Structure 1
Amino acid sequence: MRRYLSAITLALGLGIVLFPHHSNNENKPGPEVYSAKHETNSKLALLEQDVKLTDDLCRTQCSTDYSKVLSQIEAGEPAAQVLSAMKTQHEKMDLLIWSKTNQPMDQGIKAGEIPISYKEQANSYLIEAKRAADAGRHYQSPKFGAAQQVYFVQGMPSSAGDSSLVGVIHQDILHQVTDHQMKNLRLEPYPNENRWKVESVDTDTLQDKVVDHPEDNQGTSHYHQNEVVVKFKQNPTEAQLAQIKNEIKATSVQKLGYTYVFRTEGMEAKALMAYFGKWDVAYVEPHFLYLTNDYYDDQDADSTDSTDANSSDSNYSHGTVSTDTQTSSISPNFKPNDNLFSKYQWNLPSTETVQGWQLNRGAKDVVIAVVDTGVDLQHPDLKGQLLPGYNVIKDNDNPQDDVGHGTHVTGVIAALVNNNLGVAGMTWYNKVLPVKVLDQTGAGSTYSVAQGIIWAADHGAKVMNLSLGNYADSGFLHDAIKYAYDKDIALIAASGNDNTERPGYPAAYPEVFAVAASDSQNQKASFSNYGDYIGVTAPGVSIASTYPDNQYAALSGTSMASPHVTALAALIRSTNPNLKNTEVYQIMRDSARDLGTKGFDKYFGYGLIDVAKAIQLAEQRTSTAFTFPQNWFLPQRLMAKKFAK
């Protein structure tokens, strides 16, 4: 934690600004604007901003929760029962004390205990909180503690003024977000978690690469030392497979479709690749690791026991969209009452999402797969939004998120709207299919990612979010992408957070729609990867969304930009279910608001998504009434090569 804080202090001491100004003569941000030094300093300032915003989100939500408790007690519910229920729902509330005005705290009704190591400091703030609440004032203390043991004290008077609620709230989420963003924004080298035998290599040459500094992550890929992925031109016979296992002394063999993963303790990947040269193979490649664009520490967290996915709707049909997409209209001046919306969710007004809701708010039969770290299945702001999913890592039906990334991504897409709680998602009625392909370290193998994509494609997904990546072009992963694409699934992926033009995968595959990130000033996010494969841009800086354990966090990354576009694709398909995936892609391009240089550019693609305009175009177009030019759906870089003759 000390190294994080010192780095942040340095960045702030240098006066770093999060949103650098671009001159009128140079509206597009070029690589010279975001040098390695500037990029690192900007990321450090952004990390500090995300932590501060998460602190604000926590405090705002805790105030709402305290108001709820006091209202219940005033309505006649037993105080002890209400406090116990609130503490169960919010395990970060270490201590809650309800008491009458001017009644000593130790005579009040209590749930929980003060943390022993900070008892003296907490007690002094509790006294202040009680005094302020008795005087009719809301009170919040400064943070105190260190690392994962950070707390603040809150006090609130009842509306009648005859009682108050004070308590101690544990903010270990601030440590989680700090650690999260150090890796998410590639501010530290790829960490060997002692879980994988991992090599870091240059993607082009597969030569070993030492990753000592954040900028070394650009163009770096990671793979298992003792594994390879092999696709044979013809499946080997049992005898041939036995021969291979014997010759390489294989400890395990996995098969997905026509592709095999061989693991051995005696040979490393390069030797294994050379060995398979004598066999008739379509390809042999290292078994690459794919990471979220928010890489996490290994916390040795186990998933909870199997649980329902908060939804009784298990309709995976690819059929037409049901007519009950929207039960009522909303006024032109509608503003959702989610208590974190107005102050923190700059991203939805920026993308004309609220205006888009006037036209369409989604349809439950247009299923969105989130292929990620799983989802917090019990989060109250996702209640009823989740379909039964799959955990590839443990091969069970419990895709519980033990990282946080997938829960955050899902909230951007589908957090309940207008429920007086937390944040608002972009869709109201689309269901999310959670697929856990990344483990508690935030990493997953090519095999697990490919398996998750195929599973989601076979279980009703019409749109798929892939906020993960690697710089290695894997034939194995590409096969899975093609499988989903051929099933007419719209595939949306994050471009990456290394401020590099090097294509990352799966975002750069021609079947996938790649997303770059912008900030609240509609400038390129300093970390966002760029290139001629970018489709559009979406907000990706300090995005407020759901987080495990009934919490909310602000995170930055192209991982946060991608689900905005995924939600838009789902709204387009909800509006016009006859559109093919390629037509959905084109509508998002055609409706985007141009940023940077005029027309397509490598930093913003076709521009910032515009939800209202995209839905309007979807209403106007049908697959039979509109014809696109030949090869229009190919990425810009491929079109340039094709027509430059």
Structure 2
Amino acid sequence: MWRYLSTITLALGLGIILFPEHNNRPKPGPEVYSAKYETTSKLALLEQDVKLTDELCRSQCAIDYTTMLSQIEGGEPVTNVLKNMRSHHEKMDVLVWSQKGQPWEKGIQSGDLPPSNKDQAATYLKEAKTAVDAGKHYQSPKFGAGHQVYFVQGTPSTNGNDSLIGVIHQDVLAQVTDHQMKNLRLEPYPNENRWKVESVDTHSLKDKVVDHPEDNQGTSHYHQNEVVVRFKTDPTDAQLKQIKAEIKAISAQKLGYTYVFRTESMEAKALMAYFSKWNVAYVEPHFLYMTNDYYDDQEKDQDTTDSSSNSNSHSSGTEQAPVSANFMPNDRLYQKYQWNLPLIETVQGWQLNRGANDVIVAVVDTGVDQQHPDLQGQLLPGYNVISGNDNPQDDVGHGTHVTGVIAALVNNNLGVAGMTWYNKVLPVKVLDQTGAGSTYSVAQGIIWAADHGAKVMNLSLGNYADSGFLHDAIQYAYDKDVALIAASGNDNTEQPGFPAAYPEVFAVAASDSQNQKAPFSNYGDYIDVTAPGVSIASTYPNNQYAALSGTSMASPHVTALAALIRSTNPNLKNTEVYDIMRKSAQDLGDEGRDKYFGYGLIDVVKAIEMAKQNTAPLSYWPQDFARQLHLVPRKYAGAIER
């Protein structure tokens, strides 16, 4: 069993564990953060997160076992307790309650031994039974392989007369590994055959072979037989019928003024050439967008809410009961694993403001686990763009993790603490079960969220292609005064990624526990601020918790801060929210703004204080500066207000 991280000097201690050779790390720079260094660092981080996942799982399972024994000792029927736990936690394959001296096979059992590892499981169960009968806690080594990995746990009762042992399925370790390989770009993308896509150089759109992770930098992916078209004047019904016939269209979807045409007989380049004869504002490939993260895990079902944490009782960010200066959340995983919140002065910020129900935060992502106990009461009815219904259930894990960073229930004696107490999350599923989604789905999700009350929006996804279609959706939300926060990407490249690099969007880079640039984090002149993005503990589907890494994890810290700012002062415009976050950031790296950290690490206390005073000058993103970065196409330059 992994040693638990020290609860003393949390951020520093965890930083030492996360980066044991941190003092030898070079300062960030393209000449230093080479492909070799980047890949080595990513592999080390992947291994670290999987180990931390194992530790989180074992730690939380020990708490679950203690809870079950307490319920049994309190008089609840054994069978009911075991069945209830297994119904909420699918990973607990077998639970056995037995009296001291009784063979484990004779105890009350719920569930069956895993067929593929039945003999090993039985051997460890016997060892566990011997240990608990002697009054000792027990955890076996991992056994099995791939998605069939398990460990055995045993916990004696407080009176020593009985005990609980069982087999716990850790397939999440394989899920974490698979997901991280993709999202940290440690394998070429795409590696599935679900999407019919081509890889191209982002600037030239020339074909590019992607057979190594480093080839992902500056590479975009698009549907082979689809294009996106915006006409200067919408085609008539007769013209649309003519177009469909000439290209043998299978479908023609419309969002706003933009169409997505799909065929079986023509490839994207031929389709783009075809539409050149029509009066179009632009025609472009139908690009794919991916999550910007990487992984780790754990779980819990205890729901004993502390009387001081009625997280759903306030409808505004004002007149909140004060939080004392020495307040420490009682969330079970906070002290050991959430180094990120103290680092950015979150708890001190809660003394000033903890959010408001009416400042809605949209998470445009893979959806959210709507049954997670640490998110109950925090979610609004959302939308699933992929299936076209109102069930944005997460089938990946990414969106659930992002949501927990923002809004996991605080001080409820369960799991992790989010950054906001009262802000509601609007889940919008735009990425499918592979963690990828089209320009159409992402744009539709952004527009839907803007139309359904979002004041702040998190976009932990990206592509290197500057899509007019996506920019239209971004412009739409921006013009409705939505604060748009996006992850910069995980390729350690200066190549601008979108939507983060659009001037209407607030771009976030990732740092570690020692305020160093995360080795995977993209960088460039478009970066606004930095936030923690290495081994971030948060919620995960099926009542679990995960420690993930990526700019996807950094972005929701900033999103939550934007929500706290707007909760503090609802009259602030999105541009004013942006300026407050820039001006209040703690400077990192070279003095002043730089391309690795932007204006620096976010500071919750300073930002909320500035929101109260409303003193932020609107001076950071003039149109001329945006044009100098080549981020504002000529057609948008006159429309952007700064």
2:210 is matched with 211
1:530 is matched with 523
**Residue in structure 2 matching 1:354, options 322, 347, 356:** 347
SS of 1:554 mapped into structure 2 = strand
The separation in 2 between residues aligned to 1:635 and 1:454, in whole angstroms, is 27
1:67 is matched with 66
2:6 is matched with none
CA deviation digits over 1:162-210, x for unaligned, max 9?
A: 2111000000000000001101100000024222210011101111111
Q: 1:262 to 1:29 in 2, by over 3 A?
A: same
2:546 is matched with 553
CA deviation digits over 1:374-429, x for unaligned, max 9?
A: 00111111111100000000000000001111011111111111111111111111
Cα deviation, residue 352, structure 1: 0.8
Cα deviation, residue 584, structure 1: 0.4
CA deviation digits over 1:485-518, x for unaligned, max 9?
A: 0010000000000000000000000000000000
What amino acid maps onto 2:97 in structure 1?
A: W
What amino acid maps onto 1:285 in structure 2?
A: E
Structure 2 counterparts to residues 374-385 of structure 1, below 5 A: 374-385=367-378
The separation in 2 between residues aligned to 1:632 and 1:442, in whole angstroms, is 32
SS of 1:522 mapped into structure 2 = coil
1:460 is matched with 453
Compute the RMSD of aligned alpha carbons: 2.0
2:231 is matched with 232
1:162 is matched with 161
The separation in 2 between residues aligned to 1:134 and 1:19, in whole angstroms, is 42
Structure 2 counterparts to residues 102-113 of structure 1, below 5 A: 102-113=101-112
What amino acid maps onto 1:491 in structure 2?
A: L
1:576 is matched with 569
2:407 is matched with 414
Structure 2 counterparts to residues 36-435 of structure 1, below 5 A: 36-294=35-293, 322-323=315-316, 327-435=320-428
CA deviation digits over 1:523-580, x for unaligned, max 9?
A: 0000000000000000111111111111111111100100000000001111111110
Q: 1:612 to 1:627 in 2, by over 3 A?
A: closer
Q: 1:17 to 1:567 in 2, by over 3 A?
A: closer
Matched, 1:496 2:495: no
CA deviation digits over 1:269-295, x for unaligned, max 9?
A: 111101111111000000001111148
The separation in 2 between residues aligned to 1:139 and 1:641, in whole angstroms, is 60
Q: Name whichever of 107-116 and 143-152 sits farther off.
A: 107-116
The separation in 2 between residues aligned to 1:252 and 1:92, in whole angstroms, is 42
CA deviation digits over 1:19-72, x for unaligned, max 9?
A: 64468xx8x511122100010000000000010111111111111111110111
Q: Name whichever of 323-332 and 565-574 sits farther off.
A: 323-332
What amino acid maps onto 2:192 in structure 1?
A: E
What amino acid maps onto 1:175 in structure 2?
A: A
Structure 2 counterparts to residues 466-615 of structure 1, below 5 A: 466-615=459-608
Q: 1:636 to 1:138 in 2, by over 3 A?
A: farther
The separation in 2 between residues aligned to 1:236 and 1:634, in whole angstroms, is 33
Tell me if the contact between 1:22 and 1:29 (Cα under 8 Å) persists in the aligned partners.
no
The separation in 2 between residues aligned to 1:638 and 1:349, in whole angstroms, is 37
Cα deviation, residue 454, structure 1: 0.3
The separation in 2 between residues aligned to 1:113 and 1:457, in whole angstroms, is 48
What amino acid maps onto 2:254 in structure 1?
A: K
The separation in 2 between residues aligned to 1:215 and 1:559, in whole angstroms, is 19
Q: 1:620 to 1:344 in 2, by over 3 A?
A: same
1:11 is matched with none
SS of 2:572 mapped into structure 1 = coil
Cα deviation, residue 628, structure 1: 2.6
Tell me if the contact between 2:316 and 2:358 (Cα under 8 Å) persists in the aligned partners.
no
Tell me if the contact between 1:17 and 1:42 (Cα under 8 Å) persists in the aligned partners.
no
Tell me if the contact between 1:501 and 1:530 (Cα under 8 Å) persists in the aligned partners.
yes
Unaligned stretches of 5+ in structure 2?
A: 1-17, 296-310, 632-642
What amino acid maps onto 1:386 in structure 2?
A: L
SS of 1:260 mapped into structure 2 = strand
The separation in 1 between residues aligned to 2:445 and 2:109, in whole angstroms, is 46
Tell me if the contact between 2:318 and 2:568 (Cα under 8 Å) persists in the aligned partners.
no
The separation in 1 between residues aligned to 2:126 and 2:624, in whole angstroms, is 62
Matched, 1:441 2:434: yes
2:303 is matched with none
Q: What TM-score do you get using the length of structure 1 for normalisation? A: 0.90
SS of 1:534 mapped into structure 2 = coil
What amino acid maps onto 2:413 in structure 1?
A: N
- Structure 1: 4+ residue segments shifted above 3 A: 16-23, 321-327, 631-642
CA deviation digits over 1:226-258, x for unaligned, max 9?
A: 010000000001111111111111111000010
What amino acid maps onto 2:401 in structure 1?
A: H
Cα deviation, residue 139, structure 1: 1.0
What amino acid maps onto 1:344 in structure 2?
A: Y
Cα deviation, residue 106, structure 1: 2.1
2:307 is matched with none
What amino acid maps onto 2:537 in structure 1?
A: A
The separation in 2 between residues aligned to 1:286 and 1:88, in whole angstroms, is 45
SS of 2:190 mapped into structure 1 = coil
The separation in 2 between residues aligned to 1:373 and 1:402, in whole angstroms, is 7
Unaligned stretches of 5+ in structure 1?
A: 1-15, 297-312, 315-320
What amino acid maps onto 2:252 in structure 1?
A: V
The separation in 1 between residues aligned to 2:630 and 2:438, in whole angstroms, is 32
The separation in 2 between residues aligned to 1:261 and 1:632, in whole angstroms, is 32
Q: 1:52 to 1:388 in 2, by over 3 A?
A: same
1:5 is matched with none
Percent identity of paired positions between Structure 1 and Structure 2: 78
SS of 1:88 mapped into structure 2 = helix
Cα deviation, residue 265, structure 1: 0.9
The separation in 2 between residues aligned to 1:506 and 1:475, in whole angstroms, is 11
Q: What TM-score do you get using the length of structure 2 for normalisation? A: 0.90
What amino acid maps onto 1:111 in structure 2?
A: S
CA deviation digits over 1:62-85, x for unaligned, max 9?
A: 111111101111111001101000
Tell me if the contact between 1:39 and 1:526 (Cα under 8 Å) persists in the aligned partners.
yes
What amino acid maps onto 1:331 in structure 2?
A: S
Cα deviation, residue 323, structure 1: 3.8
What amino acid maps onto 2:280 in structure 1?
A: V
The separation in 2 between residues aligned to 1:181 and 1:169, in whole angstroms, is 22
1:8 is matched with none
Tell me if the contact between 1:192 and 1:198 (Cα under 8 Å) persists in the aligned partners.
no
What amino acid maps onto 1:51 in structure 2?
A: V
Figure out how many residues of one structure are paired with residues of the other and give that number. Answer: 599
Q: 1:322 to 1:90 in 2, by over 3 A?
A: closer
The separation in 2 between residues aligned to 1:641 and 1:265, in whole angstroms, is 36
